Amino acid sequence: MTNPISPDALDEKSLPQKIAEDIIALILEEHLQPGDKLPNESNLSNRLHAGRSSIREAMKLLASRNIVTIRQGSGTYVAASPGMVEDPLGFTFIGDKKKLVADLLDVRFLLEPSIAAMAAKWADENDIRKITALCSEVEDLLLQQKNHIQKDIEFHTAIAMSSKNLVVPRLIPVINSSIPLFVEITKSRLYTETIETHREITEAICAHDSVRAQDAMYLHLVYNRRLIQKMAET
Amino acid sequence: MTNPISPDALDEKSLPQKIAEDIIALILEEHLQPGDKLPNESNLSNRLHAGRSSIREAMKLLASRNIVTIRQGSGTYVAASPGMVEDPLGFTFIGDKKKLVADLLDVRFLLEPSIAAMAAKWADENDIRKITALCSEVEDLLLQQKNHIQKDIEFHTAIAMSSKNLVVPRLIPVINSSIPLFVEITKSRLYTETIETHREITEAICAHDSVRAQDAMYLHLVYNRRLIQKMAET
């Protein structure tokens, strides 16, 4: 997978980087799953024809990319969501946070209404139970004026999971990293609208009503955009 | 920026990880830009109250996340696209590549036609020159039956850049990592359609015609989806 705007990643590779790639190949070849234990250091050292200290360095690189988890005294395991790093698109390094929030919202407009429609079509009993529970949890936190950000992202991610598209659940948490920034900028002024639109999205998905789910998601995003625009004016 | 489906990233942090975060904070506070040199090891060691070997470990972690670039004998620099790693959404670890290609294409349908319309609206002289040049380069490579994948991704990324949305150019190369997989699966059978639709997208953006740019992009994606569906049947 090449990435044209990140030429640095393609620079000549160090020995630990090359070994890290060999370990990735081994995880894939042996179909190791999240939580599975990797072979130990001396085993890997033999199989990959590399010194143990290079193996250790390579494992640190893989841990920093969230591909493996190193448990002191226990061993090294395939990570829960291998390869999904925190802030994978580097939003931390975008200076203009106001524009970032507005632009993330524009991207959410392109993705989330259609995803809600897909979720209404494909959600199974398990998905519906999860979405309903998260909808209530966000509501409770909002009513108690407690921090709802984490649960809010989980709510939108559960909808994304229900779409049964493999890419969408990996994308939505990244795009929804706008939620903390957004709440910071708007100081959580939208809570009545959030409760109502979340509830309508949930009901529509439970009823497998794609059009209503899509419309409710548009409504949710429109309330968000209007508030952002109002804040920008003042 | 939290990421609910990646709890591993939130586990208790090692000393080099904590120092890595301090260095990120320093890059942001001092508004260091891509290509700027970071303070040297002993300077950082003093400022962050950390040993030089911990600083070195932290820099390796930052390099593996493509936040800095270490140039042997010269020093450490802010990376060209800080924080954008290769394969940031971990597609390498999705086993079912056929479904991945189809699902990536579904996401491209949601994003790229609107992005083409935004590009037609906002593209400046410089963008237009770049898109036109890349369109010709892809065309030449296709006619010579050479590998056009890298240039194809650059073409779609240049369109994304022209949208002037901060998020979209970071997203498109990731989504378009489907192009190599797709070409592999379809064995590049679409080249007449690719040449024609790429050219129409380019002309529409040059003419600042948003509707035509959007439609041409839909056409491009429809040809791709039909071929995938045909391949799946056989």
Burial (CB < 10 A; 0-12, 13-18, 19+), residue B137, is middle
Query: Which residues of B fall within a CB distance of 8 Å from A61?
Result: 60, 64
Among A27, A103, A166, beta carbon nearest to B166: A103
Which one of 1.10.10.10, 3.40.718.10, 1.20.120.450, 3.40.47.10 gives the CATH number of domain A7-78?
1.10.10.10
- The span from the CA of A5 to the CA of B160, in Å, is 12
The mean of the pLDDT values for chain A is 86
Q: Can you give the pLDDT at residue B63? A: 87
**pLDDT by residue (tens digit) across A218-229?**
999 999 888 888
Q: Say yes or no to pLDDT of A163 above 70.
A: yes
Average pLDDT, integer, range A15-40: 90
- Six-digit token string for B167: 């998020």
Phi, psi of A76 (to 5 degrees): -120, 135
Q: What's the pTM?
A: 0.79
User: Does residue B226 register a pLDDT over 50?
Assistant: yes
Q: Give the residue range(s) of CATH 1.10.10.10 domains in chain A.
A: 7-78
What residues does CATH 1.20.120.530 cover in chain B? Answer: 91-233
Decide: B81 and A4 in contact? Cβ < 8 Å.
Answer: no
Tens of pLDDT, residues B78-96: 988 777 777 778 887 787 8
Any idea what DSSP says for residue B174?
H
Number of helices (H) and strands (E), helices first, in chain A? 10, 2
Nearest-CB residue to B103 (from A31, A106, A165) = A165
B33 touches chain A (CB under 8 A): no
Give the DSSP letter of residue A76.
Answer: E
What φ, ψ does residue A127 adopt, rounded to 5°? Answer: -60, -45
Task: Answer yes or no: is pLDDT of A7 > 70.
Answer: no
Contact A56, A42 (CB under 8 A): no
Cβ atoms of B153 and B179 within 8 Å: the answer is: yes
**A170:B89 CB<8 A:** yes
pLDDT of A159 reads: 97
Do B93 and A99 lie within an 8 Å CB cutoff? no
ipTM of the complex: 0.79
Best CA proximity match to A203, nearest among A153, A159, A146? A159
Q: Which CATH class is domain A91-233?
A: mainly alpha
pLDDT digits (tens, 9 = 90+) for A29-58: 888 888 999 999 999 999 999 999 999 999
What integer pLDDT is reported at residue B183 of this predicted model? 65
Q: Which of residues 127-146 of A touch B (CB under 8 A)?
A: none
What does the block give as tokens for A80?
Answer: 């829960």
Strand-pairing partners, residue A71, are A75
Contact at CB, B3 and A69, closer than 8 angstroms: no
Q: What is the mean pLDDT of residues A71-95?
A: 82
Q: Which chain A residues have a beta carbon less than 8 Å from that of B157?
A: 4-5
pLDDT at B124: 97
Nearest residue of A to residue B67, measured between CA atoms: A90
Assigned token pair, B29:
């506070």
End-to-end alpha-carbon separation of chain B, Å?
44
Two tokens, residue A141: 């936190």
Q: Does B98 touch chain A (CB under 8 A)?
A: no
The residue-averaged pLDDT of A174-187 equals: 69
Q: Is B72's Cβ below 8 Å from some Cβ in A?
A: no
